[in-house]
């Protein structure tokens, strides 16, 4: 939504021991990134005839932009940027209106906002390290993207200083972010508080962390504290997990996703595999195991350029009871071209291609999920 005003502050929470995974910090506190975001040009939410309000939330997979100034890769992305007169918003041209019409858009920002060229020794063997200049943060602010998850295997590509610069860039731009020690907070219509939590899983499920025996216990404690003690109305949990190029979740993902729901999560969003995974509805809560790529500069010709945008709605009654009223998907390709990636995610209009994306999700849901959704609606039912 268009920002009318916002204020930001960080509240230190000392109730839960914490550990930073992505940033490798020694802090053991959880912070809140708190923003108030209003609108003077658009009405927040949908007001129903019974006086209830509907919140529309949009989620995407990996937003990876820029190049690699350590290995000196990524020229093709910058060639496209030059063609568009250095206007980074060329990437969002075909999805901007989707984000404009919702109340909250959450993406996985997988990279760094920095011009630094130095990298940690632990990263020098990586095939690709992502960065883009902080001046291009307007890819978010100019395209109605209010929030990012900042827990993945590329946020530390330029070390702690690059990570700190990325967070500072987001804060200065008024973008909400969450990581393993900070809750991203969005306030809807002045009173409904939405919390976003983010975790990097991959190989960390069963490792001790922050005073807990394993990541499962930490996640459960964080969610319960956020929901029960901090009294957030809606809790969204993002996980960076799974195996690259897999079209279905691993056993650890299944366990963690359902564990998050059992702990109080209202929505679970996943990414990392670069491939779309099916959606599960567990105890009434949607678990999106992977939303695949969204805007991805790491490959100009990936073998699968199909993906989807996930949208869901929550209805808030007059007495503040909150219920999820369903979801829809918007099938996309990560490019507007047929044969190569030009970094412009574009909704699919071809019926056969749409059917192919939905059938992939359904088939893998039946094979690998215990509670797969039966349908993948393209339009709202309510």
Average model confidence (pLDDT) across the chain: 87
Domains and CATH numbers, the chain: 8-368 (3.60.21.10)
Q: Parallel, antiparallel, or unpaired for β 147-149 and 104-109?
A: parallel
For residues 308-315, give the mean pLDDT: 98
Specify the higher pLDDT residue, 8 or 157: 157
Is 17 a residue whose pLDDT tops 50? no
pLDDT attached to residue 16: 40
Query: What band does 60 get if pLDDT is binned at 50, 70 and 90?
Result: very high
Q: Whole-angstrom distance between the N-terminal and C-terminal Cα of the chain?
A: 21
Q: Where are the alpha helices (DSSP H) in the chain?
A: 75-83, 96-100, 138-141, 159-173, 215-224, 251-263, 351-368
N residues, the chain: 382
pLDDT attached to residue 22: 40
For residues 177-183, give the mean pLDDT: 92
> Please, are residues 281 and 339 in contact by the beta-carbon 8 Å criterion?
no
For residues 15-44, give the mean pLDDT: 39
pLDDT attached to residue 12: 33
Is 259 a residue whose pLDDT tops 80? yes
Is 33 a residue whose pLDDT tops 60? no
Query: What band does 23 get if pLDDT is binned at 50, 70 and 90?
Result: very low
> Please, are residues 187 and 193 in contact by the beta-carbon 8 Å criterion?
yes
pLDDT attached to residue 95: 98
Is 381 a residue whose pLDDT tops 70? yes
């Amino acid at each position: 939504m268009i920002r009318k005003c916002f204020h930001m502050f960080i509240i230190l929470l000392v109730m839960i021991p914490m550990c930073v995974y992505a940033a490798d910090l020694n802090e053991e506190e959880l912070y809140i990134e708190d923003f108030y975001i209003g609108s003077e040009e658009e009405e927040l939410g949908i007001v129903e005839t019974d006086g209830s309000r509907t919140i529309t939330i949009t989620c995407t997979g990996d937003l990876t932009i820029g190049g690699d100034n350590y290995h000196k890769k990524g020229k093709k992305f910058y060639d496209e940027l030059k063609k568009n007169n250095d206007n980074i918003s060329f990437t969002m041209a075909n999805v901007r209106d989707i984000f404009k019409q919702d109340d909250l858009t959450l993406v996985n920002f997988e990279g760094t906002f920095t011009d630094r060229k130095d990298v940690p020794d632990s990263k020098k063997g990586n095939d690709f390290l992502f960065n883009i200049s902080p001046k291009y943060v307007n890819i978010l602010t100019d395209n109605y993207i209010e929030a990012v998850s900042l827990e993945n295997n590329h946020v530390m590509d330029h070390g702690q200083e690059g990570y700190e610069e990325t967070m500072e860039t987001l804060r200065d731009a008024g973008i909400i972010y969450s990581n393993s020690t900070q809750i991203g907070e969005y306030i809807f219509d002045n009173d409904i508080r939405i919390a976003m939590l983010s975790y990097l899983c991959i190989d960390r499920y069963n490792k001790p962390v922050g005073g807990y025996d394993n990541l499962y216990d930490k996640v459960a404690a964080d969610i319960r504290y956020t929901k029960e003690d901090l009294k957030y109305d809606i809790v969204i949990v993002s996980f960076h997990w799974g195996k690259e190029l897999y079209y279905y979740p691993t056993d650890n993902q299944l366990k963690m996703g359902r564990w998050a729901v059992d702990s109080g999560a209202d929505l679970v969003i996943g990414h990392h595999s670069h491939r779309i995974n099916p959606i599960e509805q567990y105890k009434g809560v949607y678990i999106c195991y992977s939303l695949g790529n969204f805007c991805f500069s790491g490959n100009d010709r990936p073998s699968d350029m199909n993906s989807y945008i996930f949208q869901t709605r929550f209805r808030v009654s007059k007495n503040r009871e909150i219920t999820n009223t369903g979801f829809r998907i918007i099938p996309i390709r990560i490019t507007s071209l047929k044969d190569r990636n030009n970094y412009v995610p574009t909704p699919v209009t071809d019926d056969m291609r749409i059917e192919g994306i939905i059938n992939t999700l359904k088939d893998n849901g039946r094979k690998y999920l215990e509670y797969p959704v039966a349908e993948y609606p393209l339009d709202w039912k309510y």
